[in-house]
């Protein structure tokens, strides 16, 4: 894994980090799971989270879906984190590429995750590159959506209690794409 990382500070106190690493090892208040609308955590990031965090995450997810129905892009679900070093897992449904309005849906999933973190009173959150794996969202387009969404979020929520947003990418090719866009978006970092 690369030790290289980038960061940007908003409004003097809210920090955005981009790192290459394992999402399931992040010591933050919550990590975001790239989920499907049924919260069936069978592959990708979701499966890794359940493997490391324990079946309690899938059990709580099943309960959430029974009570609330399918999860939408705008309204992520959340569960406790089991054995992970964070407190919560926020389950955000990213769009499948080709489903229509993908960039809007990805932005909604990111904003919805931030809103859940705010509701839970959290100060730190880590995201994977939602939808860029098996959902097929082009990495370059996703990088732009992530950075614009984070910028807009902190511009509109200057009093946010969230002091750290970390974007964690495990594979080098995806990390390189996001790093390039990060450098373009925040050239002074």
pLDDT band at 187 (very low <50, low <70, confident <90, very high): low
Nearest Cα neighbor of 90 from 73, 69, 105, 107 is 73
pLDDT at 19: 95
pLDDT at 1: 41
**What does pLDDT average to over the chain?**
92
pLDDT at 4: 56
Decide if pLDDT at 185 tops 80.
Answer: no
Query: Reduced to 3 states, what is the DSSP secondary structure of residue 35?
Result: strand
CATH number at residue 88: 3.40.220.10
26-to-20, 32, 106, 139 alpha-carbon distances in Å: 11, 11, 22, 22
31-to-28, 165, 189 alpha-carbon distances in Å: 7, 10, 24
Q: How many CB atoms lie within 10 A of CB 177?
A: 19
pLDDT at 126: 98
Decide if pLDDT at 189 tops 60.
Answer: no
Q: Considering its fold, how many domains does the chain have in total?
A: 1
Min mean pLDDT across 24-28, 35-39, 101-105, 157-161 is at 157-161
Decide if pLDDT at 13 tops 90.
Answer: no
pLDDT at 166: 96
pLDDT tens digits, residue range 77-103? 999 999 999 999 999 999 999 999 999
Residue 19 token pair? 């790192």
Helices of type H across 9-138: 44-53, 56-68, 102-119
pLDDT at 12: 62
Give me the domain span that covers residue 63: 5-185
Give the predicted TM-score (pTM) of the model.
0.93
């Amino acid at each position: 894994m690369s030790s290289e990382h980038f960061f940007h500070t908003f409004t003097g106190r809210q920090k955005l980090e981009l790192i290459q690493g394992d999402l399931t090892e992040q010591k933050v208040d919550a990590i975001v799971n790239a989920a499907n609308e049924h919260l069936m955590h069978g592959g990708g990031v979701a499966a890794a989270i359940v493997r490391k965090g324990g079946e309690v995450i899938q059990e709580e997810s099943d309960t959430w879906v029974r009570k609330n129905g399918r999860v939408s892009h705008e309204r992520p679900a959340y569960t406790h984190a089991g054995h992970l070093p964070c407190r919560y897992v926020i389950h955000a449904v990213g769009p499948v590429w080709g489903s229509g309005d993908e960039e809007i849906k990805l932005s909604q999933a990111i904003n919805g995750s931030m809103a859940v973190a705010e509701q839970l009173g959290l100060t730190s959150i880590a995201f994977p590159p939602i939808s860029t794996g098996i959902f097929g969202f082009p990495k370059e387009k996703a990088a732009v959506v992530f950075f614009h969404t984070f910028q807009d979020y902190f511009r509109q929520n200057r009093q946010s209690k969230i002091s750290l947003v970390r974007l964690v990418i495990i594979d080098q090719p995806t990390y390189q794409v996001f790093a390039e866009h990060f450098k373009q978006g925040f050239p002074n970092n």
